Amino acid sequence: MRPDDALATLFQPLNEGLLHWPAEGGALFLRARDGAELRQAPRPGLVCEQEFKPAADALARAGLETVSLDALDPARRYPLVLVLPPRQRQEARALLAQAVARCAPGGRVLACLRNDEGARTGADDLGRLAGPVAQQSKRKCRVFWTAPLQDPADAALMQEWLALDAPRPILDGRFLSRPGVFAWDRIDAASALLAAHLPADLSGRAADLGAGYGYLSAELLARCPRITAIDLYEAQSRALALARINLKDARLPLGFHWHDVTTGLPHRYDTLLSNPPFHAQGGEDRPDIGRRFIAVAAQSLMPGGRFWMVANRHLPYERELEQCFAEVRSVAQEGAFKVIEAKQPRRPA
């Protein structure tokens, strides 16, 4: 796994004395990530926001105060707001607008992006919101920060960009989604292929591993009348909130779990389905995540249960599947994707 260069570069102006940690009032860190740079000096009053469960869990393990964006006191302002904007531009603009909106009078916003994830654009966008920004480059990243702020440079633009994160109808109103969620404005081709091959006789208690905004669970409900309940497991809280809305009219019990599937599941199931992620939060390839999803599926499947998954054809999951299940079959291969059914989970000795 590559070093978190953006996190290291974010703290560079503080380490060099160009900026100073607030003496009082604390600081807000939007999309915070744990790392040595975060903990190498005292950070009194630090509040961390993170919507991705593995990253939120790492912050909590480090003893850092961690909250969701929705749980933050809307009236509280901070003399320093740090932010690691995401790659998706609309989501990034909404987060920069949040940073400016939550900055106290006389406070600053400090942000950092990798060059290959839109650093120049991010700096320009913060400048549009807050006025001229200072900048430094290091580790193929760019860190940029505002002058002390009284008001946004463009209040109307700030409100416009805050609205970019609002849920909106997609697919002729069938679902609500928002920028930054996986395949946010469409049906992912791999998930569509899996849905098209789900057999109608799937039954019992089911779980959707990496449920996103709820598409596969909705298809399971529509195609498989013998399913009696579905638990949706999703690491991205913003996606899970959408799934709650998109499945609010479901005809059977549903459970919504902000959960890192790689840590295991609390229950066993008759039916499991998944389009497992194979990128980490920073965007690097992580096929080990998909392999771990397979292992967890084997641990969590009832003896007579069935696991249905879809993956990119180039991903080498077959060995893990054969180690974890006694019966594995290829159901379909179309374009860049493959659909696989696995049965008879092998239990550790």
Mean pLDDT by 10 residues, the chain (349 residues): 86 96 95 92 94 95 90 91 96 97 96 95 96 95 96 93 96 96 94 97 98 98 97 96 97 96 97 86 71 96 97 90 96 94 84
Task: Give the pLDDT confidence score for residue 285 in this predicted structure.
Answer: 65
pLDDT given for residue 284 in this prediction: 59
Question: For residue 1, what pLDDT is reported?
Answer: 47
Listing DSSP states for 59-92 in one string gives HHHTT--EE-GGGS-TT--EEEEEE---SSHHHH
User: Can you tell me which residue has the tokens 């069935």?
Assistant: 306
Q: Which two tokens stand for residue 5?
A: 């260069």
Strand order in the sheet with 78-83: 66-67, 46-49, 27-30, 78-83, 103-114, 141-146, 133-138
pLDDT of residue 74: 84
- The number of beta carbons lying within 10 Å of the beta carbon of residue 208 is 26
Whole-angstrom distance, CA of residue 328 vs CA of residue 12: 50
User: What residue ranges define each of the domains in the chain, with the CATH number in brackets?
Assistant: 5-165 (3.40.50.150), 168-345 (3.40.50.150)
Q: Which residues pair with 78 in a beta bridge?
A: 103
Give the β-pairing of 141-146 and 103-114. antiparallel
DSSP-assigned states of every residue in 288-304: HHHHHHHHHHHHHEEEE
In this prediction, residue 286 carries a pLDDT of 77
CA 273 to chain centre: 19
Count of residues for the chain?
349
Residues 6+ apart with CB under 8 A from 197: 308, 331, 332, 339
- Write down the pLDDT at residue 292: 95
- Rounded Cα gap, residues 22 and 84, in angstroms: 19
Dihedral of the alpha carbons of 137, 142, 146, 147, in degrees to the nearest 10: 0
pLDDT value of residue 131: 95
Single pTM value for the model: 0.93
Cα 38 → chain centroid: 21
pLDDT of residue 349: 47
